[in-house]
Amino acid sequence: MISRTARNIVGLSLGLLAAGGVLAAGADLGNTTKQATNWVAIAMFAIFVAITLGITKWAAARTKSAADFYTAGGGITGFQNGLAIAGDYMSAASFLGISGLVFANGFDGLIFSIGWLVGWPVITFLMAERLRNLGKFTFADVAAYRFAQTPMRSFAATGSLVVVAFYMIAQMVGAGQLIKVLFGLEYIYAVIIVGVLMMCYVLFGGMTATTWVQIIKAIMLLTGATFMALAVLFQFGFNPEALFAKAVEIHPKHLAIMSPGALIKDPVSAISVGMALMFGTAGLPHILMRFFTVPSAKEARKSVGWATTWIGYFYILTFIIGFGAIVMLTQNPEAYYVPKMVDGVQAIGADGKPVWDGLKGGGNMAAIHLANAVGGNVFLGFISAVAFATILAVVAGLTLSGASAVSHDLYATVFKHGNADSASELRVSKITTVCLGIVAVLLGIAFEKENVAYMVMLAFAIACSANFPVLFMSVLWKDCTTKGAVAGGIVGLITSVVLTILSASVWEAVMHNPKGSALFPYSSPALFSMSAAFVVIYLVSKMDNSKQAQLERSLYPAQKVRSETGVGASSASAH
Amino acid sequence: MNDDIVARIEANPKYHELVRKRSSYSIVMSILMVIAYYGYILLIAFNKEWLGTPVAPGMVMTIGIPLGIGVIVFTIAITNVYVRKANTDFDDMSAEVIKEASKK
């Protein structure tokens, strides 16, 4: 029974890869099998929860105004924020998914790692300092700086909430799947634990608590991954060639793991997925929001410098961990593999050796089993707790950015026309946080049995097709107008969603249409939807000669002075 | 309130020099990053065999692995080079522009 499920998981993930889910598959944890209850892991996680709730209590005393809630009063340093961004970005899916992919296919895991990293220089070169100079609480502050507030804010809030929703569902379902294998608890517990804890952090501690949860998680994840990578390299005298040689010798695919495999089929998909990752990162609301927590553009730049360093370092570690898992787990199949059973006894292969049927708990468990192999049961518990804590930190960041889109952009600006006081804005944020928490739990339950592999990639596609072009053009192109930005953003949003539905990862894998029937043949819509957004913004802005448009163009030089020099920039610590 | 300062900054050629220098710097950097990343992706799409060639005869490590790790290291390096440059030279220019605009 278990072995069949495990085989199905392997089959499903391989099928997904082949079906053109391609790069998207690495961002998903797939379906998992419940394991025996792991009390050490649960105890470790309980310690993490106790510490973070303690921090939340401390943060709650300092969270009085809306500025404290959204941006921790702007008092986070560049180094701290860099760690927090890394904690916000390094997901359980990238840790377990990429190391699992390296374990299964070797080289291909590296292609993922690179893709998830290349968005960061783009943010650094084009966005970070301008965001900090122009914005206050949300990226809509920046996009709507010189434009008509109501349409721009409504659009930006919609873009934020849609991205947050898809990203959130993937995280909640991932949490439910993980708790079954890591702690040996039921799916539903995970969804409720994540929902309740995330609400506590955000509701009481706002950005201060969220930031520290992310920092602690980042430190735990980096420490744990470093230890594992060092333990692996130590066994091979810190000689990667020796590690690779051993892996090639015992991996069933042998030398094939040292070359790129089937991951990239056609160049169009490769470029399109690359664009989604490269520019989508610069359109994720929960990441953009982090730039308002630092006091200056200088610190904002330092944040991305550190974030890129930590994230890149982490991805190099996952590659070593994946190869370490090949060597150490394959040599000890009794401990980590499910036996292939035939008529109640383990099958014996033609070579006289017992046959095994994939890793216990599924292909994404490579890093978790490796933790046991190098550090025993206590370290296994630590890594399991870290993997689960990882989801919590990401979800808290998402909730906070969703809540601020509703309270700051929709309530305070669109609904109250900028006349809301800090106290009522804060109250709306908190009500929204509770609502988002409940919705997240319900969605997590509703999507338990669904295939959510496409959702993170969809979030990236929307972020790069709707949020990024609007932000980019409003800040860098003087002729951009409200009409152009809103029209282009809406086109980008709709195109990316529709093309994703028509692609194999939804049309065939989710809606169960026959194989090969998907109308959109590529792995990501980004190439088309992002281009469409830019073209529409350009054309509509050019054709827009209304009074409002002329006013907006005349405001550009002043906006540019502020975005380039920081003169008049919000000091964030608006006490 | 800030309108005077903004107007004086706009009128200062040093401000336009700052914007020009920093923009061209970040555009060149962005292009380098795009070349590094898409170069690697297109190599995978069109020349898997070359990436799968051993680094040296008799080794199992292929050219694609140090190259891939190289792209990661390059990404980290180029980001930090920009941050350092912007936080020193460009910020000094910016501070000078603001100072000149404020003292009149």
pLDDT the model gives residue A28: 57
**Is any Cβ of chain B less than 8 angstroms from the Cβ of A322?**
no
Instruction: Report whether pLDDT(A325) > 50.
Output: yes
Closest CA to A370 of A91, A35, A102, A89: A102
Residue A378 CA to residue A41 CA, distance in Å, equals 8
Mind telling me how many Å the CA of A318 is from chain B's nearest CA? 12
Instruction: Report whether pLDDT(A17) > 60.
Output: no
Domain ranges of chain B: 3-103
A16, two tokens: 């997904």
Can you tell me which residue has the tokens 């709507």? A144
Q: What percent of chain A has pLDDT over 90?
A: 53
Pairs of CB atoms within 8 A across A/B: 155
**Is any Cβ of chain B less than 8 angstroms from the Cβ of A258?**
yes
Other Cβ atoms within 10 Å of B20 Cβ, number: 10
Cβ separation of A312 and B73 shorter than 8 Å? yes
Cα-only R_g, chain A: 24
**Is any Cβ of chain B less than 8 angstroms from the Cβ of A527?**
no
Could you say which of B29, B52, B101 has the minimum Cβ distance to residue A125? B29
Cβ separation of A124 and B82 shorter than 8 Å? yes
How far is Cα of residue A168 from the mean position of the Cα atoms in its chain?
9
Q: What is the pLDDT of residues A353-389, one digit of tens each?
A: 888 888 888 778 899 999 999 999 899 999 988 988 8
Other Cβ atoms within 10 Å of A335 Cβ, number: 12
Nearest-by-CA chain A residue for B80: A305
Q: Residues 26 to 85 of B: which have CB under 8 A from any A CB?
A: 26-27, 29-30, 33-34, 37-38, 40-42, 44-46, 48, 51-52, 59-62, 64-65, 68-69, 71-73, 75-76, 78-80, 82-84
Nearest-by-CA chain B residue for A301: B83
Helix axes A297-330, B64-85, angle to 10 degrees: 160
pTM of structure: 0.90
Q: What percent of chain A has pLDDT over 70?
A: 93
For residue A93, what is the DSSP state? I
Cβ separation of B94 and A259 shorter than 8 Å? no
A23, two tokens: 């790069």
Cβ separation of A244 and B61 shorter than 8 Å? yes
Q: What is the pLDDT of residues B16-31, one digit of tens each?
A: 999 999 999 999 999 9
Cβ separation of A304 and B42 shorter than 8 Å? no
Could you say which of A107, A126, A304 has the minimum Cβ distance to residue B64? A107
Residue A16 identity: L
Q: What is the pLDDT of residues A520-553, one digit of tens each?
A: 988 899 999 999 999 999 999 999 999 999 999 9
Domains of chain A, first to last: 34-339+371-451 (1.20.1730.10)
How far is Cα of residue A442 from the mean position of the Cα atoms in its chain?
20
